[in-house]
Amino acid sequence: MTARAAGPWLAAAFVLAGCTTTVAGTSTPGDRAAGQGEVGCEWEAIDDLDPYLVDVDTPAGQVPASGTVTLELRTGTGEIPLALDRAGAPCAVASLVSLAEQGYFDGSTCHRETDVPGLQVLQCGDPTGTGRGGPSYRYPTQVDGSETYERGTVAMANAADGFDGSQFFLVWGDSRLPPSYTVVGRVDDAGLAVLDGIAAEGNDGSNGTGDGAPNTPVEIEAATVG
């Protein structure tokens, strides 16, 4: 538990494990360019000596702020299409798209599954598979206090420090979480069926009762922007 505490975790996981929860602060992206349908994003480089970081290019400084884009996760257990909402979280979506286009997620595992009441998710997006990995940059968490995490939600995990990286979670059962995690989109019904199959197999409990690595290994063979 101690070894992973520095990584992007869901705050509720610390409650379940008997640790202290810190709620991330509210952050917003830069001002929207008038009439441009774009928004400015702040990409902050982080310590390249951290062995859990993967060196990647940062996305553009100005990114689209309208429409949706599909990110399809092809896994060994089935395809999980994600509909990402640029208007709701333009910087987070731009980051996920950029990472996918660089092949960042290809060959990575979804390292965490939880099936406890109030927290039913599959967490992915860490190429190291440790729960501590991320890209060589970070950016502000984008929340306004109205976020909810019902079944089908896609949201960014964080370390309760006001910043996001690359780890995200897919909600397969309505989850009671504080509005501290950037909501980036939705999983469709076909993807939820795949998640249900993974959840049915449970996890190894390595993080505590009902929380650990999926018993059915989930590898993202390819993440494709469509």
Write out the two tokens for 194. 């795949």
Residue 156 belongs to a domain: yes
Decide if 84 contacts 129 (C-beta within 8 A): no
Is 109 a domain residue? yes
pLDDT score recorded for residue 10? 54
Is residue 46 a part of any domain in this protein? no
Length of the chain: 226
> Is 45 part of a structural domain of the chain?
no
pTM of the model: 0.87
Kindly state whether residue 51 falls inside one of the protein's structural domains: no
Phi and psi based region of residue 114 (left: phi greater than 0; alpha: psi -120 to 50; beta: remaining) = beta
**78 located within any domain:** yes
Is residue 76 in a domain? yes
Residue 157 has pLDDT above 50, yes or no: yes
The CATH number that applies at residue 79 is: 2.40.100.10
- The lowest-confidence range among 45-59, 89-103, 172-186 is 45-59
Q: Do the domain assignments include residue 103?
A: yes
Distance in angstroms (rounded) separating the CA atoms of residues 152 and 100? 20
Output the pLDDT for position 25: 33
Cβ 89 vs Cβ 183: under 8 Å: yes
pLDDT tens digits for 55-72? Answer: 999 999 999 999 999 999
**pLDDT tens for each residue of 166-223:** 999 999 999 999 999 999 999 999 999 999 999 999 999 999 999 999 999 999 999 9
Q: What is the DSSP string of the chain?
A: -GGGTTS-B-HHHHHHTT----PPPPB---PEETTTTEEE---EE--TT-TTEE------SEEE-SSEEEEEEEETTEEEEEEEETTT-HHHHHHHHHHHHTTTTTTEE--EEE-BTTBEEEEE-BTTSSS--EESEEEE-B--S---B-TTEEEEEE-SSSEEEEEEEEEEE-B---S-S-EEEEE-HHHHHHHHHHHHT-B--BTBTTEESBSS--EEEEEEE-
pLDDT at position 47: 75
Number of domains in the chain: 1
Partners of 216 in the beta sheet?
none
Taking phi over 0 as left and psi of -120 to 50 as alpha, with beta for the rest, 129 belongs to left
Domain that residue 193 falls in: 2-23+60-225
